[in-house]
């Protein structure tokens, strides 16, 4: 039995998977917002309830928004802010009395989809989360590729490629720089762009609904978003050239993207064409928590 926790900014969810990938337990709690120690208690509650449902114990994988430093083990860059600067892995191993593995949540998505999802059987799977932010993760042969410094595929904080004069220098990002893809190629960026153009605040789903109803302003906003996402995937192709891209997050449910991105990318890519499949995550919102559990898959197979 493998256990995985998806540790988000507002909720924490655990699943227990058997060797076939079938869910044997599932439980969810709100993410504590006041004390780090409360976070450790919440993890204990999740594990106890999942073990009760599954009737077994097992190793635990955790996907977080952010990543642990390979040098210090301290969490950095997490929007679950109570984790930043904390030795989360060591603390959880102490309070849970078991081995724990931690990875970035986008890496967990990539692992999940590489094991038994949209990238099953592919050698290199690049997972791209286009939700609140623009995140990325790499799985090679079904395992996380975090990189030497643990920041591989942190694509949200490189600048939008091939900016137009109208786009430069771009809006200020929460990281302190300007023009980051977190401000362009995600649901938040889509809404910000629409608001800057119209002076009207709307959620991404409502803008897409307007676009499908024939609203030219919403259509133009969608076309700008799709082109910016295409530029990001082009740069990733030029650098990594994965076997498949798998999209997750709220904007991955915009089905038009799967026709439009393959049409847009060839005008930017360095090469003689673009044939890489672009697929929607099979496991949807469960990809992160399943991937956290699969962090232990290779040992489970032995």
Average pLDDT for 240-248: 97
pLDDT of residue 264: 97
pLDDT of residue 187: 94
* Beta-ladder partners of 84: 75
Query: Which residue is listed with tokens 């959880």?
Result: 92
Q: What is the pLDDT of residues 2-41, one digit of tens each?
A: 999 999 888 999 999 999 999 999 999 999 999 999 999 9
pLDDT of residue 78: 85
Q: Is 107:289 a contact under the CB 8 Å cutoff?
A: no
| Band (280; pLDDT cuts 50, 70, 90) | very high
Intrachain domains 2-108+286-295 and 121-280 with the same fold:
yes
Q: What is the pLDDT of residues 183-222, one digit of tens each?
A: 999 999 999 999 999 999 999 999 999 999 999 999 999 9
pLDDT of residue 301: 58
Whether pLDDT at 302 is above 80: no
DSSP category for residue 160:
P
Q: What CATH architecture applies to the domain 121-280?
A: 2-Layer Sandwich (3.30)
Q: From 3.40.50.720, 3.30.420.40, 3.30.300.340, 3.40.50.12160, which CATH number describes the 2-108+286-295 domain?
A: 3.30.420.40
Query: Which residue is listed with tokens 């450790």?
Result: 40
Q: What is the spatial distance between Cα 244 and Cα 119, in angstroms, rounded to a whole number?
A: 6
pLDDT of residue 175: 84
H or E stretch at 128: strand 124-130
Q: What is the pLDDT of residues 61-103, one digit of tens each?
A: 999 988 999 999 999 988 788 999 999 999 999 999 999 999 9
Provide the total of helices (H) and of strands (E) in the chain, helices listed first.
9, 12
Domain ranges in the chain? 2-108+286-295, 121-280
Q: Is 259 exposed, middle or buried (0-12, 13-18, 19+ CB in 10 A)?
A: exposed
Q: What is the pLDDT of residues 148-186, one digit of tens each?
A: 998 899 899 899 999 999 999 999 998 889 999 999 999
Q: Is 296:100 a contact under the CB 8 Å cutoff?
A: no
Please name which of 229, 218, 216 lies closest in space to residue 191, comparing C-alpha atoms. 218
Whether pLDDT at 299 is above 70: no
Q: Which backbone phi and psi does 101 adopt, to 5 degrees? A: -120, 140
Q: What is the spatial distance between Cα 37 and Cα 20, in angstroms, rounded to a whole number?
A: 34
pTM over 0.85, yes/no: yes
Average pLDDT for 266-280: 94
Whether pLDDT at 300 is above 60: no
Q: Is 12:46 a contact under the CB 8 Å cutoff?
A: yes
Cα four-point dihedral sign 281, 285, 287, 290: negative
Average pLDDT for 131-150: 92
Q: Is 243:199 a contact under the CB 8 Å cutoff?
A: no
């Amino acid at each position: 039995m493998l256990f995985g926790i998806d540790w988000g900014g507002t909720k924490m969810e655990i699943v227990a998977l058997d060797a076939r990938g079938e869910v044997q337990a599932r439980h969810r709690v709100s993410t504590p917002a006041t004390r780090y120690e409360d976070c450790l208690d919440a993890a204990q509650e999740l594990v106890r309830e999942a073990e009760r449902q599954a009737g077994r114990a097992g190793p635990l994988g955790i996907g977080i928004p952010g990543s642990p430093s390979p040098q210090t083990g301290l969490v950095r860059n997490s929007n679950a802010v109570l984790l930043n600067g904390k030795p989360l892995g060591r603390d959880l191993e102490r309070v849970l009395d078991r081995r724990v593995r931690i990875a970035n949540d986008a890496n967990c998505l990539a692992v999940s989809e590489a094991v038994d999802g949209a990238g099953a059987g592919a050698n290199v799977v690049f997972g791209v989360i286009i939700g609140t932010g623009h995140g990325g993760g790499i799985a090679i042969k079904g395992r996380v590729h975090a990189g030497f410094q643990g920041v591989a595929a942190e694509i949200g904080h490189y600048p939008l490629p091939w900016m137009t004069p109208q786009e430069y220098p771009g809006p200020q990002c929460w990281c302190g720089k300007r023009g980051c893809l977190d401000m362009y190629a995600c649901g938040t960026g889509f809404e910000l762009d629409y608001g800057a153009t119209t002076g009207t605040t709307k959620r991404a789903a409502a803008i897409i609904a307007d676009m499908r109803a024939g609203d030219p302003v919403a259509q133009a906003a969608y076309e700008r978003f799709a082109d910016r996402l295409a530029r990001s995937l082009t740069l990733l192709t030029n650098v990594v050239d994965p076997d498949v891209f798998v999209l997750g997050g709220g904007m991955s449910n915009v089905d038009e993207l799967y026709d439009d991105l393959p049409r847009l990318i060839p005008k930017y890519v360095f090469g003689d064409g673009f044939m890489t499949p672009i697929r929607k995550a099979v496991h949807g919102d469960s990809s992160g928590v399943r991937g956290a559990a699969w962090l232990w898959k290779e040992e489970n197979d032995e």
